[in-house]
Amino acid sequence: MKKDNMKKTLAVRCVAAAALGFAKGAVTIAPVYYVTGNHETALPQQQYEQLMEGLETAGVTVLANDAVTVAYHGEEITVVGLSDPASMAASRLSRLTDKEERYVILLAHRPDFFEEYAEGGADLVFSGHAHGGQFRLPFIGGLMAPDQGLFPKYDAGLYRDGNTSMVVSRGLGNSIIPFRINNRPEIILVELKAD
């Protein structure tokens, strides 16, 4: 094995181990639902399968173009997960929810498809991928994000389109550039309350 390939394989294993460790801790707090992002789909097949198996063994519900109904105190919501990439999101989402009357939470890695998520019937979208714009400029926001380029429209925070809200997390990791400026990593906590 070449030295560069060996370094890359070791780095992937370290990241996967950290992700699984986080997942094992998170499931002790609350149910955990997971969708893939571009970093997972770029893994070699064997490593991808090991990661998915590890997540499921830890008790994580992996949603790969799937929907589940979650009941809590007599109320039900639908949680939908779209696998990355999320192209044709509206049609995929519509097929999974079948225009349900329940509140629909969508987990989709890429925020740049927000209009499609809204068109597909999502009430609330949780997304990431933009890494907060990697470098944040005061009063302007993120400088650059994958698939959105310079000064991304959806870099971090809350966005609305009609009756759909989207929360974009800056996440914990980095993009191609291994550091951030004015852009602390984050885990977002959202509390849903019934009307």
Residue 81: per-residue pLDDT = 93
**Omega within 30 of 0 (cis) for the link into 178:** no
What's the confidence (pLDDT) of residue 72? 84
Question: What is the predicted pLDDT for the residue at 61?
Answer: 97
CA 87 vs CA 68, 74, 84, 109, 123: distances in Å: 21, 34, 8, 11, 19
- One-letter amino acid identity for 13? R
The whole-number mean pLDDT for each consecutive block of 10 residues of the chain, a chain of 195 residues, reads: 56 72 93 89 86 94 93 90 74 70 92 91 92 87 84 93 95 79 89 80
pTM of the predicted model over 0.75: yes
Q: What is each CA distance from 177 to 86, 92, 146, 173, 181, in whole angstroms?
A: 23, 32, 11, 10, 11
pLDDT of residue 84: 84
Residue 43: the pLDDT is: 81
